[in-house]
Amino acid sequence: MTDARLRHGRASLGLSFFAQGVAFALLVTRLPAIQDRYGISDGLLPLFLAAVPILAGVGSVATEQCVKRVRPSLVLRWSQPVVMLALLGVAAGSEMWQVAVCLGVFGVAVGALDASMNMLGVNLQRAYGRSIMLGFHAAYSLGGIAGASLAWVGAHWDLTLLVSYLPVVAVLLPAAFAGSRWYADAVAEAGVAVGGGGEGKAAGSGVGFTLLLPLCLVMTFAYIGDSTVSNWSAKYLEDVLGSSEQTATLPYNVYMVTTLVGRAVGDFGVRRFGAVAVVRAGALLAAGGFAVVAGAPGVGVGMLGFTMLGFGLCVIVPQTFAAAGRIFPGASSDAAVARLNVFNYVGFLVGAPLVGALGDAWSYRGAMLVPMVLVLVTLVYARSFASGTDRYGGGHERARAVDVG
């Protein structure tokens, strides 16, 4: 694979991560407006919210089977427009069944999109011979910030959902679709074709769940932490720490900004110190963030805790995907990534109700200690992130790695 194709593939995949970050943020940050538009009761809303990650898991599993026959880039090329059109459908409908259908389509397409994006990212990292996975997830975080900001503008100016979503989809959909022509599926390493759903693929038969299980647990616990911040940070700041409603919107924004910064520089840390050290540091920092939030006497200390959480959690998920690609090289990596991606949604599905139930039954301060303990479990499995024969980072760049930017 030429240097130019690698650079183009990296840029186009980064654009896809960015577009997905925008789309997902526009959906989750305007849930109150969606609820009001369709008259969804507070009792029914959790069912709608649970259906999306469940169907996303279905989409990820289906993608594992699909890439045995077609290239991951083809799955990504067509699933991303479906996600954006489903988002637009959520804004354009008027009946309960319409939003249910659109959210269902959104969920399945998001699963396919997330799985195929990370498959391509893992394969590109293998081609580069050095850590670049965090950079893709930094693009996702940047998209999340942009989407949340656009959602704030829509809410501030009392714009309808359709008016808020249509210009964004009109710009991002054709841009992502045009960029998809440069996706890079297969990477050549030592003369052996890798990935891409081509001939001779092992159909994922080389993926042993015993080897993958530690990464699945880490992924689940990281997303329990992430969903705790996204779903409960505003309520925690307002109800527990006594902030104003306006101030309560800040923790998630701070979390997203620190996530972006951490991921933007994280690849350099992996190259310098290795993935194991970076993941351990991230887990310790995230656990410390939850501890600070749980014990915060006021708003300022609470904000400090959420800042620590952003810097800590941001490195874990991208490195988990990268580790799966190293443990299961070649054709098996796509299947490993697809299966691992399912636990993204397991964590998201479990996290919010778990913290909510503990908060109601016990206290929200005490509830914050549960994701803290779960994140600390990452330390037990940190050796699963070891580079092995690939030896990314720490002065162990492979001589055949091509510097393509």
233-290 pLDDT tens trace: 988 999 999 998 778 878 888 898 999 999 999 999 999 999 999 999 999 999 999 9
The per-residue pLDDT for 208 is 75
Helix axes 96-128, 133-156, angle to 10 degrees: 150
| Token output for 302 | 């609470």
Same domain, 10 and 115: yes
Domain boundary, last residue among 153, 184, 215: 184
Q: Looking at the structure, do residues 177 and 218 belong to the same domain, yes or no?
A: no
190 within some domain: no
Q: Please give the DSSP secondary-structure letter assigned to residue 195.
A: S
CA distance 68 to 200: 10
In a domain, 194, yes or no: no
pLDDT of residue 252: 81
Query: Is residue 400 in some structural domain?
Result: no
Tally of domains within the chain = 2
> Quick one: 264 and 155 in the same domain?
no
Assess whether 133 and 260 both reside in one domain.
no
Asked if residue 70 belongs to a domain, the reply is yes
- 149: domain range? 1-184
From the number of C-beta atoms within 10 Å of its C-beta (0-12, 13-18, 19+), residue 202 rates as middle
- Report, in angstroms and rounded to the nearest whole number, the Rg of the chain calculated over CA atoms: 20
On whether both 3 and 98 belong to a single domain, the answer is yes
Q: pTM of this prediction?
A: 0.88
Based on the fold, state whether residues 83 and 6 are members of the same structural domain: yes
Whether 156 and 87 share a structural domain: yes
The separation between CA 94 and the C-alpha centre of its own chain, rounded to angstroms, equals 30
Residue 200 domain-assigned (yes or no)? no
Decide if 264 is inside a domain: yes
Any alpha helices (H) in 158-208, and if so which ranges?
161-179
Together in a domain, 130 and 173:
yes
Is the residue at 84 inside a domain?
yes
Q: What is the sign, positive or negative, of the torsion defined by CA atoms of 192, 132, 168, 95?
A: positive
Residue 253: give its domain's CATH number: 1.20.1250.20
> Of the residues 151, 184, 217, which one is the last residue of a structural domain?
184
Q: Does a structural domain hold residue 77? A: yes
Q: Assess contact for 336 and 251: CB atoms under 8 A.
A: no
| 3-state secondary structure (DSSP) of residue 192 | strand
| Co-location of 110 and 27 in the same domain | yes
231 and 377 both lie in a single domain: yes
Judgement on whether residues 162 and 217 belong to the same structural domain of the protein: no
Measured in whole angstroms, the distance separating CA 349 from the mean position of its chain's CA atoms is 14
Question: Do residues 235 and 111 both lie within one domain?
Answer: no
Q: CA–CA separation, 154 vs 150, rounded Å?
A: 6
Kindly state the helix (H) or strand (E) to which residue 194 belongs, with its residue range: strand 192-194
- Tokens for 45, please give them: 């809303």
Residues of the chain with pLDDT under 50: 188-205, 389-405
